[in-house]
Amino acid sequence: MKKVLIVDDNDKYAINLKNYFDQMGISSDRAVDAKQGLDLYNQNKSYDMIVSDITMETQTSGLWMMRKIYKSGYTGTMVIASTGFDVWGVMPFSKFFLAWFCGLNWMIPKVPLKKGEVLWFPTWKTTNLKSPF
């Protein structure tokens, strides 16, 4: 069975992601900040996917958590869900930079996610352009 780690301090976004994965029959754990996310990852390195916000304890704590996990040798799917992706021009830059910086495979903008819609945008590392599952 597939397992996802959701790291987000915002209950609305985290619940919408959990509901999305539940509907697909994929179990998930949730961390409320990057520190807890890194702790959960270190306790259970068998997550198939990690979905994280960027801004939690600090403006970039989620980004640094993702980099630490990536640099540790994690081979699963890395996803960032961020309000930054709702800003024009951020995704084209991020699909290259974040793939290099933290191994990012997918980006999820939060304006649709707030309404419960999960939209997947690939980075240059992603070969399957439809969705990660």
- Is the CB of residue 85 less than 8 Å from the CB of residue 121? yes
Q: Which amino acid is at 125?
A: K
Ordered domains of the chain (ranges, CATH): 3-122 (3.40.50.2300)
The DSSP H or E segment spanning 111 is helix 110-114
Q: What is the DSSP letter of 127?
A: -
Q: Considering the entire predicted model, what is its pTM?
A: 0.94
For residue range 6-54, what is the model confidence (pLDDT) as tens digits?
Answer: 999 999 999 999 999 999 999 999 999 999 999 999 998 999 999 999 9
For residue range 96-113, what is the model confidence (pLDDT) as tens digits?
Answer: 999 999 999 999 999 999
For residue range 69-97, what is the model confidence (pLDDT) as tens digits?
Answer: 999 999 999 999 999 999 999 999 999 99
Which token pair is 122?
Answer: 């690939």
- The angle that helices 61-71 and 34-43 make with each other, rounded to 10 degrees, is 20
